Structure 1
Amino acid sequence: MTEEGGRLTETEAAVLAYEGRTWPGPGAKERAIREVLGMHPVRYYQLLNALMDDPRALVHAPGTVNRLRRLREAQRARR
């Protein structure tokens, strides 16, 4: 899934862009994932979780990746 030169693929960049957006209501994001990105939401979230630990993603979208990491750590702390 990695492009040469250590850059994100188009799909990886699109996933991070989707995470940086706000969504109008329940289900809108999942609908867009299916219709625009052409992937199942489960696959989207699998890819997103992998991207949170990918240094390339941090370089590409540091605000989004750091926000997601904070949320993940907060969820782990509650368990």
Structure 2
Amino acid sequence: MSARDEAVLAVESRSWSGPGPKERAIREQLGISPTRYYQLLNALLDDPRALAHAPVTVNRLRRVRDARRARR
């Protein structure tokens, strides 16, 4: 996993008061757009290295993703 991948997981593991502060942190800390951030994050959810690095965060996000897919 790259340092950027680890940084994406670190941002996602934090608690945010709303979308504004999180999007600002994504731009300032990672230097990417929120859209690109979510693309990278979604790919990380299928990466076994990400699961090994941050199992609680990855499993939580997988459950959220699976629930959204089931509603479609």
TM-score if structure 2 supplies the norm length? 0.95
Aligned: 1:53 with 2:32: no
Structure 1 position 50, deviation (Å) = 0.2
1:30 aligned partner, one-letter code: E
Higher helix share: 2
> What is the Cα-based RMSD across aligned positions, in Å?
0.8
Gap change, CA 1:47 and 1:26, over 3 Å in 2: closer
C-alpha distance in 2 between matches for 1:68 and 1:12: 15
Q: Percent same amino acid at aligned positions?
A: 71
In the TM superposition, 1:1-79 aligns within 5 A as 8-79=1-72
1:56 aligned partner, one-letter code: R
1:15 aligned partner, one-letter code: V
Runs of 4+ in 1 over 3 A off after TM superposition: none
Structure 2: runs of 5 or more not aligned: none
TM-score if structure 1 supplies the norm length? 0.87
Matched residue count: 72
Structure 1 position 24, deviation (Å) = 2.4
